[in-house]
Structure 1
């Protein structure tokens, strides 16, 4: 190959604010950021671009960096023949999304690190994920030779790829259909059948390989717990077994709670489990996983209502299920508020998988979380035998070799519940409560010791979208978590502090625009999911607090989302704003580790159509057009669009407004709210009307609220009451607990 003469480049990532990019600032690779100047440089030098996308908590990103990007010989090849660009996929999901779509289309799979080779015009012609060192070096050489020998072929491949991506972007107008056409294909039944086929009855959870797959297993709440909650609760076709839907969800929640994926010592849940038993995780902890598991666990805590039990045995099972669900939610909340909420109120993005096992040692996966038996013996003393039996501790370690790719956990133990409290109690002649207390005290001791270790790296950027998910979790926990959990009292203040942070730091009042991220200042502009997830969180916080300011901001944000991202041709929402250097403006309706912006927007629009009902037809039409923009997908593969399908199930169930009139200080108001919140009902929105502090701005957008407010001010409607409104018709006011339960269609006792 001939040498290509270009200006001498250095690694510029030291100037970045992204924690992921800063991890690579000392690489010998001349990393550049994804900027117009970098792209112009590639075009001037006529060099191909190597784009590497990942995130700070990504274990395999670290492996690729240690093996290749820190190697001077490989860096020499990269610097000589390529313009090398690093992208934080969490800050620039628009860039990542386009090339990930290409990677998935050409390889049948995807993931991070994502490695893309492209022309100086940003057109991709080869893609992969992690490459072992030797293979990566040879690949670099082959790609460089290919570019030099047949540049035209590379360019033709890149142009063809971009044309294909445009066809896949979802921006082409479709033949108009109808919601009835979609519903006629019974998406709910299809989701149930697919989940039933992929369910693992032994250990819980779902895998693409079916019940006998060896893993990995992801929570993927938007594709599992969210639709299962509807399937377990709504009147649906006879093909759907509601008890089986509940069983599948509870089995998964228990698998996570009992497994090593759950951090028994410090709380929270790891990204995913590499094995089928939920024992061996990839140890990174992501904010979006914490948030979604909180809401999913709360849902099934409500659904597992002991008062609905058919007999004592059934009631006991429901009570046990409820306890596991609420325990998981409470555990994750404690971890998230303690370790992920910044002093200013926003929530940080993630904790890494890797840390140094000893001072000065090379970082390895899970080092912060795993244990030698000898160390456990020393910390636990007389309780060691009990605790180690409970947690499956073995002298030679309990991590199977096939789940320890680099031998970093050899001889170590991951804590998971290997035996039940009853088994341990019988073995050591103690009560279950005594064992529970022993385990609790042991975890406190272990945390004290673990806190002396080097903590995994913290990704301390604050993402609007993920904070929106956590806002929903906090608001729902403030409403639905039983008061016996002490963390409940912290949830509403934490939620309001989060909103204050986002509004003060990440919202430009004059331009009416959000920013995507914050770290030492504002990051890139916001994406559609930033708006959608924050709107959902604000609506949840409004319902949980009764403060109309949150609802009013949600209405304003929805208007701005529509202005910035609505596709007037193909309908539905673009995933990002226009950018000349993002060659294809993609849509992103498919759910994955997070729900899609499209699916969350659909539910937001339905809720806003009730809250700001004077614009009901506007919201309803936008929601219908959005459903129709993905109609074929919902008909053919609804599980991949699970949260959108949840919206369809809510529509079939029928949305309703629950209007509560009363002072927040009135005990009766609190009693009525507890009854309202004792029911799993995502198809309703709770509207608060405090006579002393009336929701004037909501009344301007809702004729029913305006009429009720006028009646109160005229002295016609006094006292605390609840009204349920469905299909534009409001029922009579319910003024006592039995009447409220009857109006809500529930006889459940107040269990919160």
Structure 2
């Protein structure tokens, strides 16, 4: 037995390095070994913060008897889905085609050529042992049927990834219909869309905010406000340290699945920041500030970059860090404050979670209470957090994923410039520097880094889109010409190496490792699709530079996403968000000034509709096209408002600027 994971960089693979299973990392060597031995392949896909991945590992992969079955009859391959989303997409498509559903851990049995013939997710130990025996027997005695099944699955996977389908140009009617369809699924009581399990619908909320700004829809704005308030008061949100869990197992946001993912918190930071910008909502501002602090405090890594996740488990028990009993609150705070906290956080003797414990929720409105009450609440939070810090803590997946750091950079840039947070603003610039230096290698992106070193996996389309959008966000808060130049480099790679030739995009480059099929998934799921994120960057880059060829590419690509927005808006949230910006113009705002803190600059950022581009700096700053030929009027800071490459007369006061933006 020779487990080959000890040299891996992935924290998920390293979790399995001491298993008795003879694991291989993904690579041609594993398939060559399967051909040599004439045995099938087990492809096990998961990620470090996945609770049920841990359960299957403890039950099966750490068990000597299961390991013996695997080692004798299979070549076992372990894949980190976050490092290799391309591999994950191909086999998830196969799993969904065979079973009608998917999830992680994903368990795929394949031929030595990689063709899947049996797929599933989590299997209990006894079921898994029986399955291993059945697959081994089928491989030996029913080889022709197995190969026929594999060929059929490959054909189904290829069909699911076909490109060049119908298109629908973006229009006001299309986006209006998408909003109506989306709001039909809105939970009027608890917010969000659909029932349990309930995921934070960050991209749908961004779409609704932009739709409200363009159309004035009060219903769209109220849906966002209501959902954000319900999530922030629920157990989905960490009431002590900030930050959101991956999803709620119920429809009321009470009990979360406890892992905290970088991408969720980055996207939710944007939602709460933009909601506060539009409404001044006190809860939205607090949650935005706390989420930004969570990102930098709990996910920041020593070498730079943000870690990808905190685990759902601590000391092998899901949620053990976060749940409380009334007695534990009294022990931590004393009798009076303990009982007060139990009432405030709805901690009861019966509990809302396992073993009679409760997940903290905010049972009543306190953000605008009497200052004395607010001070007590904040004191209790801090004392409980101190006690909680002494408990076993969740493990952290400290790999740095390019796309997800890109999402965080954009969110931190927006939070920093809108709220005046120097920490968020500085972090956005610093993190962008990390990606530019560490992840951009010979003109191409690497998807991950860890301990300051770039990993081997090549960047996929979402990396190029999210990082390009992030570089453009940093350009807007710095006016540094370095960032649009780097964004152009990434967008040119996306257009040249990922394009389908019909306006859309594949998820992998034309010179990437060849898989069963070349994935091209346009849906926005946990994160923006590669296509949506590239469209966002193309629209912003065209607006910042005036290069209409990039806008033409964006419009063509958005048309390929139009049918998805029209037919399945819940799975096209970011595409619709970008489409709103494109339909609105977007606004291009240049503030020529020698003083970046001028009130005119603050007004431009604060009141620019979502999706706008804003640059503040000295007139004719080299390398910054939006500031070219933008003189100061009468020596005063001057704002130039353009839209669709057509400019209004310049203004010099915040009031006049707001009038321009209200048109």
The alpha-carbon deviation at position 631 of structure 1 amounts to: 4.3
- Residue-by-residue CA offset, 1:115-137 (whole Å, 9 max, x unaligned): 11111100111111111222121
Match in the other structure for 1:337: 296
Within the alignment, does 1:459 sit opposite 2:397 as a pair?
yes
Whether the 8 Å CA contact 1:676–1:744 is kept in 2: the answer is no
Match in the other structure for 1:192: 179
The alpha-carbon deviation at position 279 of structure 1 amounts to: 1.0
The alpha-carbon deviation at position 178 of structure 1 amounts to: 6.0
The alpha-carbon deviation at position 580 of structure 1 amounts to: 4.4
- Residue-by-residue CA offset, 1:216-255 (whole Å, 9 max, x unaligned): 1101312x2122112322228xxxxx22222221121111
Select the residue among 594, 610, 615 that pairs with 1:663.
594
Match in the other structure for 2:454: 522
Match in the other structure for 2:119: 127
- Residue-by-residue CA offset, 1:306-331 (whole Å, 9 max, x unaligned): xxxxxxxxxxxxx5xx1111111111
In structure 2, the gaps of 5 or more residues are none
The alpha-carbon deviation at position 11 of structure 1 amounts to: 1.2
Match in the other structure for 2:357: 412
Written as runs of structure 1 = structure 2, the 5 A alignment for 1:382-531 is: 382-399=336-353, 409-421=354-366, 432-481=370-419, 483=420, 488-508=421-441, 511-520=442-451, 521-523=453-455, 524-531=457-464
Match in the other structure for 2:602: 674
The alpha-carbon deviation at position 20 of structure 1 amounts to: 0.3
Q: State the SS of the aligned residue for 2:215.
A: coil
Match in the other structure for 2:321: 368
The alpha-carbon deviation at position 539 of structure 1 amounts to: 1.2
Whether the 8 Å CA contact 2:543–2:645 is kept in 1: the answer is no
Match in the other structure for 1:646: 577
Match in the other structure for 2:555: 624
Match in the other structure for 2:506: 574
The alpha-carbon deviation at position 650 of structure 1 amounts to: 2.5
Written as runs of structure 1 = structure 2, the 5 A alignment for 1:63-82 is: 63-82=55-74
TM-score, with length taken from structure 1: 0.84
In structure 1, the gaps of 5 or more residues are 1-8, 208-212, 237-241, 305-318, 357-362, 400-408, 426-430, 747-752
Match in the other structure for 1:233: 213
Quickly say closer, same or farther: Cα 1:418–1:189, change in 2 above 3 A: same
Moved over 6 A (4+): none
- How far, CA to CA, are the matches of 2:523 and 2:215 in structure 1? 26
Select the residue among 590, 602, 616 that pairs with 2:523.
590
Within the alignment, does 1:203 sit opposite 2:190 as a pair?
yes
Match in the other structure for 1:220: 201
Match in the other structure for 1:315: none
- How far, CA to CA, are the matches of 2:340 and 2:365 in structure 1? 12
- Residue-by-residue CA offset, 1:550-576 (whole Å, 9 max, x unaligned): 2222122212222221222x4312111
Whether the 8 Å CA contact 1:53–1:113 is kept in 2: the answer is yes
Q: State the SS of the aligned residue for 2:6.
A: helix
The alpha-carbon deviation at position 610 of structure 1 amounts to: 1.8
- How far, CA to CA, are the matches of 2:553 and 2:162 in structure 1? 16
The alpha-carbon deviation at position 581 of structure 1 amounts to: 4.5
Whether the 8 Å CA contact 1:390–1:420 is kept in 2: the answer is no
TM-score, with length taken from structure 2: 0.95
Match in the other structure for 2:330: 377
Match in the other structure for 1:535: 468
Match in the other structure for 2:285: 326
Written as runs of structure 1 = structure 2, the 5 A alignment for 1:126-275 is: 126-171=118-163, 173-174=164-165, 179=169, 183=171, 186-207=173-194, 213=195, 215-222=196-203, 224-235=204-215, 242-275=217-250
Deviates more, 1:79-88 or 1:190-199: 190-199
The alpha-carbon deviation at position 465 of structure 1 amounts to: 0.5
Match in the other structure for 1:603: 536
Deviates more, 1:81-90 or 1:246-255: 246-255
Aligned length in residues: 659
The alpha-carbon deviation at position 156 of structure 1 amounts to: 1.6
Whether the 8 Å CA contact 1:54–1:89 is kept in 2: the answer is yes
- How far, CA to CA, are the matches of 1:727 and 1:461 in structure 2? 40
- How far, CA to CA, are the matches of 1:645 and 1:736 in structure 2? 33
The alpha-carbon deviation at position 61 of structure 1 amounts to: 0.6
Q: State the SS of the aligned residue for 1:724.
A: strand
- How far, CA to CA, are the matches of 1:470 and 1:621 in structure 2? 27
Quickly say closer, same or farther: Cα 1:680–1:742, change in 2 above 3 A: closer
Whether the 8 Å CA contact 1:117–1:126 is kept in 2: the answer is yes
- How far, CA to CA, are the matches of 2:239 and 2:608 in structure 1? 28
Match in the other structure for 1:25: 17
- How far, CA to CA, are the matches of 1:204 and 1:630 in structure 2? 26
Whether the 8 Å CA contact 1:299–1:680 is kept in 2: the answer is no
Match in the other structure for 2:309: 350
Quickly say closer, same or farther: Cα 1:289–1:174, change in 2 above 3 A: closer
Whether the 8 Å CA contact 1:533–1:600 is kept in 2: the answer is yes
Q: State the SS of the aligned residue for 1:658.
A: strand
Whether the 8 Å CA contact 1:344–1:497 is kept in 2: the answer is no
Quickly say closer, same or farther: Cα 1:638–1:281, change in 2 above 3 A: closer
- How far, CA to CA, are the matches of 1:421 and 1:522 in structure 2? 45
- How far, CA to CA, are the matches of 2:513 and 2:24 in structure 1? 18
Whether the 8 Å CA contact 1:373–1:397 is kept in 2: the answer is no
- How far, CA to CA, are the matches of 2:416 and 2:605 in structure 1? 10
Select the residue among 267, 271, 281 that pairs with 2:256.
281
Select the residue among 622, 629, 636 that pairs with 1:707.
629
Deviates more, 1:589-598 or 1:539-548: 539-548
